[in-house]
Amino acid sequence: MSFTLNQMAGFAALEKTGAFPELSDDLVGAILEEMGKYCDQVVAPLNKGSDEQGAVLENGVVRTSPGFKEAYRQYVDAGWNALAFPESAGGQGLPSTLAVAFIDGLNAACMSFAIGTTLTTGAIKAILHAATDEQKRLYLEKMVSGEWTGAMNLTEPQAGSDLSAIRTKAEPTGDGRYKISGQKIYITYGDHDLADNVVHLVLARLPDAPEGTAGISMFIVPKMHVNEDGSLGGRNDVQCIKLEEKMGLHGSPTCVMAFGENNECYGTILGEENKGLRNMFVMMNSARLDVGVQGVGVAERAYQHALAFAQDRQQGRAPGVRSGGMIPIYEHADVRRMLYSMKSLTEASRAICYANAVAYDLARHSPDDDQRAEAKALEGLLTPISKAWSTDRANEVTSLGVQIHGGMGYVEETGAAQYMRDARIAGIYEGTNGIQAMDLVGRKLQGDGGAAAGAFIQNVKEQAIIAKAAKDHDVQHIGARLEEGVTALEQSTQWLLNAAQNSQEDVLAGATPYLKQFGNVAGGYYLARGAVAAALAINEGGDTAYFNAKIAITKFYADAYLTEAVYLTDSVTSGADIVARLDPALLSA
Amino acid sequence: MSFTLNQMAGFAALEKTGAFPELSDDLVGAILEEMGKYCDQVVAPLNKGSDEQGAVLENGVVRTSPGFKEAYRQYVDAGWNALAFPESAGGQGLPSTLAVAFIDGLNAACMSFAIGTTLTTGAIKAILHAATDEQKRLYLEKMVSGEWTGAMNLTEPQAGSDLSAIRTKAEPTGDGRYKISGQKIYITYGDHDLADNVVHLVLARLPDAPEGTAGISMFIVPKMHVNEDGSLGGRNDVQCIKLEEKMGLHGSPTCVMAFGENNECYGTILGEENKGLRNMFVMMNSARLDVGVQGVGVAERAYQHALAFAQDRQQGRAPGVRSGGMIPIYEHADVRRMLYSMKSLTEASRAICYANAVAYDLARHSPDDDQRAEAKALEGLLTPISKAWSTDRANEVTSLGVQIHGGMGYVEETGAAQYMRDARIAGIYEGTNGIQAMDLVGRKLQGDGGAAAGAFIQNVKEQAIIAKAAKDHDVQHIGARLEEGVTALEQSTQWLLNAAQNSQEDVLAGATPYLKQFGNVAGGYYLARGAVAAALAINEGGDTAYFNAKIAITKFYADAYLTEAVYLTDSVTSGADIVARLDPALLSA
């Protein structure tokens, strides 16, 4: 993590901003160390049990998996939740990037435990962004500490990816409050027994609201009423009426939430009337990066599990050897290929997410206007890639983890299957990966006429030149592959920008392969930064074996995924005719 | 299926052999029709229930999922099991290709039901190949009818992919029988309540057997003893002592089998002493194709489910449209891309598997020596591709099915998740897909110095020329893409054959991407045959819309997967240095 932060993601730039006076290498080291202990010793042991004994709804109350309550108490007590929030809100004022590194570890430990904390984080950000002083006074401190948690209530059965169809209602009561009524589905940690209160942020419509997304407002709807002095009042008319049965992530309660079944559900408006989606995006953009990091974390866990298995499990012999003892399956080239795929994809997605987090922090804390603007553009560009690419790759990595285990991967005993089942949701929620791709080719690419993408591509090109100029042959090779990859990305980008002049349908048809290509190149870019740094470190007398392994994994990535990036241009630029509207009746024949 | 059989897989060649006098288009049509009814109406409705209420072990007896018993009775009564076995063994003497088409439909209906029948098929083939007349008299008829089922008992905890480590013992009793003792794991349908007897084929060692694979024999070990007159005797000392809890395929009992716990387990030897692996490969090669077809069937089911959902589910609007009603998600280009990926991959894998089946039949029934030899070579080449490529693609297709469903895909209610969980095993059992890739670059490619692969590549090149010469522009385009793909495959093939002179490690490092590349090209080849036929059919006044859809899907495939084939050469030819042995300790850092 430390290598990724410093040598790939540009973490050092945060110290230079001066916005984090207490930040130092020692502090970061100490935090990563403590984090490792908490994740390893407290949370990781709960993972398998949370799959076997998921959250349950009993008499209207959601009970979490064995051990979650105690682990959450330690999480709050240690101040993990407050890490990256401003000191003025009771936080520790450290960079969000460190919080991202923390949830990387937490997701590796137990994804279904970790997801709950990231929803609170997102809700806090929306409140920081849009709440009145009074709302902040009532909610912020308890949420920043983690004493209360947050939940995002967006989806309704008819309104999933398309929130314009939301029907939940909010009627002003005349005393500054609103009566909320409606049902929400797929509400992660909508109810649970980890904290005394759950602060719901709910999208709903005012009586006179315009149709569509322009008529959606956001409300703060606590599970327990909050008194003037901040203490807990009575129960609000909000409840979990069903838990979904899911493929995985059993430890995370996915709730159907009923608001106002007895017409007694009260909330306050968060931000302006009919501008609810704006707040939602504050919450959601942060959540999107966090979901990307879920992919990184669960992929890391699957990888470590598979690596240990491959060193232990004995099967077969080396090529040409006909007798004698069996060898660890790690010795088989095909198994190493799978492991290196897992490793390199996980490292690439980690680097992308961390770089995204650094951009997030710089965009908010740099004293330099240009740097802030540049970072903001990079953050916007990387967010859909962090979310979609990391989670698509997590599906692949966790599936390879099952494959390395052979038959043992398919039986639940070993745990490999759980990572794959758990990971699968991350490509779906917080905006499906298809939606991310549409965001990338739409708002992010066309929104500034390709400026942010162009700047990124320019950086990658320069990095390719640096790598090609290295003394190390492998690093040169990485540079050459990176150049091929970024050239292809540039072609696709240009093609999309041109196509956008004529037909959004053409652009949208290429969205998913473009995001994949972009992710492959971005991953190669950050890994290449690491490889160049590793080569320098060797020259300066660093641990040769360790740094050579970094270079070898990057080379593997370059040969597997930067070459893939090259071919994807064809898929991007085939345009709408390859996804022409065929009569579905003919397609089922 | 009919289009695939006739226009892609070359089914007509079977009629020309004269070996199937009763074979006619009418008969095939009638069989596919009946098959459709049985699969749709009897088996498909059991699928979801089999996931929710899987097989259970109660007091030493395995009970299958609700409805399985009755559906199996109908399967036996209708003669489905006997379809492709020789009339001399009580079968109907039809081509195996039709049985493959049948299990395609059966897997689409319910994979966990279908897998049981294919194990019986494999066991029958081993018995036909190696049994004494007496063994055939006792077992064949009942197994061909399906009245008794078969099970393959290979794996032991220490002997998975590597069977040399098998420890199960067989001691001659002096009366022509053997006492069997040992435990086997992962035994599919090792016990169940569908039939009166389970005929286990068991790999075990004789007391004086050489070490390793050269000391493994195969035994017939029935669950119930069989009397001289073929009637059932008492219970043999064979039992299921545990069922595995799996990620999916809950309806298929995966048994830990104990042989001779009371020292009273008796069997007879099947074939020669110490030559058990030979029989196993007879059984396994057939099973490998059948597993490939599992991938095809479950992918088809996932596709149909997702297509129906995409036509029904309303979300969002067309690009640029800001108000008005929502549209079916099928209207979104990205959703169509996913559907066309699913459709084209499923059709390609179906075509490969059917062509493999036709080769299997021709290799056994053609009166022409050359044709038999050619078919045998093609069968050998295609078997690992059918198995591994189809099942890898099934993982992808079923995962896309979940993705199209969005959040609903992740909750178990819709069924989309089940297909993904069920499909995941197919890439693992009957030899993991890594083993298939090693088989392809080893025995199949190097075994004949590249002759079979060269002949196949030549056929593909000719097909590319034919397609390029078509009047239809899309078919021309398909031809051009096919030419690029096969040229890349030829380069990889040549590289592997050269590398094999120096280093098997280099060859093995490229095995998996080579199999993927080969599968992509083979799929493109068979689809291109279909596209050429479709273009001709349009010229001859056929259903333009239907045949144009066939061409459009092939074009989609060409742009997505033949382009992918081109880049894979880099992965194949990067050689062993990209999977160099790195110290695992460095890899976990």
* Contact (CB, 8 A) for B225 and B235: yes
Please give the distance of CA B245 from its chain centroid, rounded to a whole number.
23
Cβ neighbours around B56 below 10 Å, total:
13
Ordered by start, the domain boundaries in chain B are: 445-582
Nearest to A559 among B338, B566, B578 (CB): B578
Does the distance separating the beta carbons of A407 and B160 come in below 8 Å? yes
CA of B498 vs chain A CAs: smallest distance (Å): 16
The residue with tokens 């053997």 is B178
Locate the chain B residue with the closest alpha carbon to A399. B424
Whole-number mean pLDDT of chain A?
Answer: 96
Cβ neighbours around A77 below 10 Å, total:
10
For B182-245, the DSSP string reads EEEEEEETSS-SSSSEEEEEEEEB-TTPPSGGGGBEEEEEESEEE-TTS-EEEE-SEEEEEE--
Q: For residue A324, is pLDDT > 90?
A: no
- List the one residue out of B340, B482, B405, B391 whose CA is nearest residue A512: B340
CA of B417 vs chain A CAs: smallest distance (Å): 6
CB-CB neighbors (< 8 A) of B211 in chain A: 323
The residue with tokens 């007391």 is B207
Q: Give me the pLDDT at residue A286, please.
A: 85
- pLDDT tens across A392-425, in order? 999 999 999 999 999 999 999 999 999 999 999 9
Note which residues in 280-339 of chain A have CB less than 8 A from chain B.
304, 307-308, 310-311, 314-317, 319-320, 322-323, 326, 330-339
Q: Give me the pLDDT at residue B18, please.
A: 92
Nearest to B432 among A245, A406, A504 (CB): A406
Asked if A546 reaches chain B (Cβ–Cβ under 8 Å), the answer is yes
Does the distance separating the beta carbons of A556 and B578 come in below 8 Å? yes
Continuous segment of H or E residues that includes residue A431: none
Give me the mean pLDDT over the A517-538 stretch.
98
Q: Give me the pLDDT at residue A319, please.
A: 87
* Contact (CB, 8 A) for B531 and B467: yes
Does the distance separating the beta carbons of A555 and B578 come in below 8 Å? yes
Q: Tokens standing for A151?
A: 């939940």
Note which residues in 498-537 of chain A have CB less than 8 A from chain B.
504-505, 508-509, 511-512
Tens digit of each residue's pLDDT, chain B (589 residues): 889 999 999 999 999 999 999 899 999 999 999 999 999 999 999 999 999 999 999 999 999 999 999 999 999 999 999 999 999 999 999 999 999 999 999 999 999 999 999 999 999 999 999 999 999 999 999 999 999 999 999 999 999 989 999 999 999 999 999 999 999 999 999 999 999 999 999 999 999 999 999 999 999 999 999 999 999 999 999 999 999 999 999 999 999 999 999 999 999 999 999 999 998 888 888 899 999 999 999 999 999 999 999 999 999 998 888 778 899 999 999 999 999 999 999 999 999 999 999 999 999 999 999 999 999 999 999 999 999 999 999 999 999 999 999 999 999 999 999 999 999 999 999 999 999 999 999 999 999 999 999 999 999 999 999 999 999 999 999 999 999 999 999 999 999 999 999 999 999 999 999 999 999 999 999 999 999 999 999 999 999 999 999 999 999 999 999 999 999 999 999 988 889 899 998 888 7
CB-CB neighbors (< 8 A) of B504 in chain A: 319-320
Locate the chain B residue with the closest alpha carbon to A547. B586
Return the C-alpha torsion angle A530, A532, A538, A539, nearest 10.
Answer: -150
* Contact (CB, 8 A) for A259 and A181: yes
CB-CB neighbors (< 8 A) of B332 in chain A: 434, 508
The residue with tokens 């909610």 is A139
Give me the mean pLDDT over the A137-152 stretch.
97
CB-CB neighbors (< 8 A) of A311 in chain B: 584
Note which residues in 406-445 of chain B have CB less than 8 A from chain A.
406-413, 417, 420-421, 424-425, 427-429, 432-434, 437-438
Give me the mean pLDDT over the A561-583 stretch.
92
CB-CB neighbors (< 8 A) of B339 in chain A: 587
CA of B367 vs chain A CAs: smallest distance (Å): 35
CA distances, B238 to each of B176, B222, B224, B256, B259 (Å) = 19, 8, 9, 11, 5
Locate the chain A residue with the closest alpha carbon to B552. A578
* Contact (CB, 8 A) for A193 and A62: yes
CA of A149 vs chain B CAs: smallest distance (Å): 23
Which of B474, B570, B572, B573 best probes binding to A when mutated, by most A CB atoms within 10 angstroms?
A: B570
Which of A300, A347, A379, A430 is an active site residue? Answer: A430
> Which residues of B are the active-site residues?
430
Cβ-Cβ contacts under 8 Å for A255 (sequence gap 6 or more): A62, A187, A188, A189, A190, A191, A240, A242, A243, A244
Amino acid at B243: L
Does the distance separating the beta carbons of A555 and B434 come in below 8 Å? no
Asked if A127 reaches chain B (Cβ–Cβ under 8 Å), the answer is no
Does the distance separating the beta carbons of A407 and B428 come in below 8 Å? yes
Q: For residue A589, is pLDDT > 80?
A: no
CA distances, A364 to each of A17, A376, B117 (Å) = 10, 8, 63
Does the distance separating the beta carbons of B512 and A334 come in below 8 Å? yes
Locate the chain B residue with the closest alpha carbon to A210. B323
Does the distance separating the beta carbons of A162 and B323 come in below 8 Å? no
The residue with tokens 């029989």 is B279
* Contact (CB, 8 A) for A403 and B432: yes
* Contact (CB, 8 A) for A242 and A255: yes
Asked if A2 reaches chain B (Cβ–Cβ under 8 Å), the answer is no
- pLDDT tens across B538-587, in order? 999 999 999 999 999 999 999 999 999 999 999 999 988 889 899 998 88
Give me the mean pLDDT over the A457-464 stretch.
98
Cβ neighbours around B498 below 10 Å, total:
12
Locate the chain A residue with the closest alpha carbon to B510. A334
Asked if B158 reaches chain A (Cβ–Cβ under 8 Å), the answer is yes
A58 catalytic, yes or no?
no
Q: Give me the pLDDT at residue B197, please.
A: 98
pLDDT band at A575 (very low <50, low <70, confident <90, very high): confident
CA distance A254 to A217: 23
β-strand B148-153 against B197-204: which pairing, if any?
parallel
Q: Tokens standing for A201?
A: 């942020």
Asked if B30 reaches chain A (Cβ–Cβ under 8 Å), the answer is no
- pLDDT tens across A26-63, in order? 999 999 999 999 999 999 999 999 999 999 999 999 99
Locate the chain B residue with the closest alpha carbon to A573. B559
Number of helical (H) and strand (E) elements in chain A, helices listed first = 22, 12
CA of B197 vs chain A CAs: smallest distance (Å): 26
Nearest to B428 among A406, A437, A552 (CB): A406
Locate the chain B residue with the closest alpha carbon to A485. B567
CB-CB neighbors (< 8 A) of B437 in chain A: 334
- List the one residue out of A183, A556, A79, A501 whose CA is nearest residue B582: A556
Does the distance separating the beta carbons of B245 and A413 come in below 8 Å? yes
CA distance B404 to B499: 43
Label residue B8 exposed, middle or buried (CB < 10 Å: 0-12, 13-18, 19+).
buried
3-state secondary structure of B10: coil
ipTM surpasses 0.95: yes
Does the distance separating the beta carbons of A326 and B165 come in below 8 Å? yes
Note which residues in 339-398 of chain B have CB less than 8 A from chain A.
339-340, 343, 395
Locate the chain B residue with the closest alpha carbon to A564. B567
Which of B312, B345, B582, B583 best probes binding to A when mutated, by most A CB atoms within 10 angstroms?
A: B582
- pLDDT tens across A208-219, in order? 999 999 999 999
Cβ-Cβ contacts under 8 Å for A334 (sequence gap 6 or more): B434, B437, B438, B508, B509, B511, B512
Which of A152, A332, A503 best probes binding to B when mutated, by most B CB atoms within 10 angstroms?
A: A332
